[in-house]
Amino acid sequence: MKTKRLFVAIELPESTRKFLVDLDPKIRGARWLDAGQMHLTLGFFGDVPEDVDLTFREKLSVIEFGSFFCPSSAWEPFRRKAGQRYSGSVLALGIRIFFNCTNE
């Protein structure tokens, strides 16, 4: 059975991506992502059957959201589990999201 590595993410506004690109600490040996690859990961599902991809896309396509406050908390290592296709480590900007859910 073929699998796909799936996650759910929100695209960041251009101004936020530009701000993050400008934070590049220029650490030797580290590769900073370009703005087009930066996103806010909401959930990581790992390797799932390939046919689940379309179902996820259909279900997620109906979700709408507005702007929200998202302060950063700290740089955190995001380590991948052994055996996954992508090896190495990622340095992620940790965030705390505050939102108010209403039944409108």
Beta bridge pairs of residue 69: 98
pLDDT digits (tens, 9 = 90+) for 75-84: 666 655 555 5
The count of domains in the chain is: 1
Q: CA–CA separation, 32 vs 21, rounded Å?
A: 8
Domain residue limits at 34: 3-95
pLDDT digits (tens, 9 = 90+) for 7-44: 888 888 898 888 888 887 777 777 778 888 888 888 88
Mean pLDDT of 64-81: 69
Please report, for residues 1, 11, 43, 44, 52, the alpha-carbon distance to residue 40 in angstroms, rounded to integers and kept in the order given. Answer: 29, 7, 9, 11, 21
User: pLDDT at residue 5 above 70?
Assistant: yes
Asked, for residue 77, whether it belongs to a domain, the answer is: yes
Asked, for residue 103, whether it belongs to a domain, the answer is: no
